[in-house]
């Protein structure tokens, strides 16, 4: 049977049907209904923050977060090339210019000191990305943003369910950092609403503005107060989210067992570099990246060998976003400008990982790699 890089977790079918039953009674299918409101409240409690605003997908959530800050047109936003292209598009589609800084070789996240070196009078924001559920250096970025008076937006698409221990021992969620954090609830994620996304934040002034931006600026039957688009999450999506949220802790634990099995089989092997655990961070086991630290051809050969056995890993992230056609004209474009990111992108595979991936399948994957 084909083994894909991921497989969506689903609640029990009857549980989902029971969650949907109210919709057949109310016929309230969209426009921020009861399920939508319930999921926003449940997520705010889960994250331990005051505000969550839901969107139909993570990209529109991120694009809206950038728009809500009213950054000056043509301003520069420093970000990472080691990310899904949505991150960069969210900057560009707001009339801003992405500036690419290199990454940390251990966490694969944006390097704060490389960001500092690129800050100019044109810089209007910093947009780091938590990668594979591994947190950025959030303390360094907080200091940097404060020093230069810059907004700090996190792409936290990979970081749902990640918590960091504070000095007093209390855990705080990945939603707690920066001015706004964006989460993707795409079907491939640890927690999903089929398609969906959210913004998490502390600023009490943002809920009305974000709702304006995602709902045509409509505030009442006869009032349109803002020029907005349409990025609302449907009640069906919210219902899936309410079901999945009940089980997400258990799903993460199952993924953790798969990660432990991979780690036992592949750690300490020459030419294979595994991501190191982050001290004080409770992971979500979103992805299992492996860096094959030989030539690029080694990674590609392993990819082909797995594909020949109907196993589908992913070259994630490859290519870099500063090396794709639509961004090659930018001053910081080109893989040579970000050599660490280029090195990792040429050698990384994310191996299949999902909650119900069988131990025998993990062994099969590892056997092919080790051969």
pLDDT tens digits, the chain, 371 residues: what are they?
899 999 999 999 999 999 999 999 999 999 999 999 999 999 999 999 999 999 999 999 999 999 999 999 999 999 999 999 999 999 999 999 999 999 999 999 999 999 999 999 999 999 999 999 999 999 999 999 999 999 999 999 999 999 999 888 899 999 999 999 999 999 999 999 999 999 999 999 999 999 999 999 999 899 999 899 999 999 999 999 999 999 999 999 999 999 999 999 999 999 999 999 999 999 999 999 999 997 778 999 999 999 999 999 999 999 999 999 999 999 999 999 999 999 999 999 999 999 999 999 999 999 999 99
The reply to whether 270 and 201 lie within a common domain is no
**Count of structural domains, the chain:** 2
Residue 302 lies in a domain: yes
**Which residue carries 């991501």 as its tokens?**
275
The reply to whether 213 and 339 lie within a common domain is no
**How far apart are alpha carbons 287 and 7 in whole angstroms?**
12
Q: What is the pTM of this model?
A: 0.97
The reply to whether 365 and 301 lie within a common domain is yes
Question: Could you say which DSSP state residue 327 is in?
Answer: G
Residue 2 lies in a domain: no
- Residue 281 has phi, psi (to 5 degrees) of -115, 130
Q: Of 243, 268, 284, which closes a domain?
A: 243
Question: Could you say which DSSP state residue 244 is in?
Answer: H
Provide the pLDDT for residue 214. 97
Residue spans of beta strands (DSSP E) within the chain: 51-55, 76-79, 97-100, 123-127, 153-155, 163-165, 171-173, 180-184, 197-201, 218-220, 223-224, 272-274, 281-282, 288-292, 348-351
Q: Of 214, 243, 272, which closes a domain?
A: 243
- Dihedral over Cα of 65, 69, 74, 78: its sign: negative
**How far apart are alpha carbons 27 and 146 in whole angstroms?**
47
Provide the pLDDT for residue 65. 98
**How far apart are alpha carbons 117 and 106 in whole angstroms?**
20
Q: Which of helix, strand or coil describes residue 317?
A: coil
**How far apart are alpha carbons 209 and 48 in whole angstroms?**
22
Q: Which domain holds residue 260?
A: 247-370
Residue 277 lies in a domain: yes
């Amino acid at each position: 049977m084909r083994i894909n890089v991921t497989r969506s977790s689903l609640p029990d079918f009857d549980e989902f049907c029971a969650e949907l039953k109210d919709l057949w009674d109310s016929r309230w299918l969209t426009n921020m209904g009861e399920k939508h409101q319930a999921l926003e409240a449940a997520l705010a409690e889960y994250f331990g923050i005051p505000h969550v605003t839901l969107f139909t997908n993570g990209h529109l959530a991120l694009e809206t977060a950038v728009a809500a800050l009213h950054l000056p047109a043509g301003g520069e936003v420093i970000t990472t090339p080691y990310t899904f292209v949505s991150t960069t598009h969210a900057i560009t589609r707001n009339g801003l210019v992405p500036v690419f800084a290199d990454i940390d070789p251990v966490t694969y996240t944006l390097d704060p000191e490389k960001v500092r070196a690129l800050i100019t009078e044109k810089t209007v924001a910093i947009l780091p990305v938590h990668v594979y559920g591994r947190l950025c250096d959030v303390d360094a970025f907080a200091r940097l943003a404060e020093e230069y008076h810059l907004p700090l937006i996190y792409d936290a698409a990979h970081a749902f369910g990640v918590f960091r221990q504070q000095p007093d021992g209390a855990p705080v969620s990945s939603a707690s950092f920066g001015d706004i954090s964006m989460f993707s609830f795409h079907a491939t994620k640890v927690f999903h609403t089929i398609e969906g996304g959210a913004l998490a934040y502390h600023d009490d002034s943002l809920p009305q503005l974000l709702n304006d931006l995602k709902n045509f600026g409509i505030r009442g039957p006869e009032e349109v107060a803002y020029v907005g688009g349409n990025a609302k999450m449907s009640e069906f999506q919210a219902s899936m989210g309410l079901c999945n949220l009940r089980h997400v802790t258990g799903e993460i634990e199952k993924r953790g067992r798969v990660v432990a099995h991979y780690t036992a089989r592949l750690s300490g092997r020459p030419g294979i570099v595994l991501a190191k655990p982050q001290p004080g961070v409770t992971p979500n086991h979103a992805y299992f990246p492996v860096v094959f630290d030989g030539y690029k051809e080694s990674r590609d050969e392993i990819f082909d060998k797995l594909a020949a056995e109907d196993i589908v890993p992913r070259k994630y992230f490859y290519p870099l976003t500063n090396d794709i056609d639509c961004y090659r004209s930018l001053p910081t474009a080109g893989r040579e400008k970000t050599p660490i990111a280029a090195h990792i992108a040429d050698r990384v595979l994310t191996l299949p990982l999902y909650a119900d991936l069988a131990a025998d399948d993990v062994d099969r994957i590892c056997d092919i790699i080790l051969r």
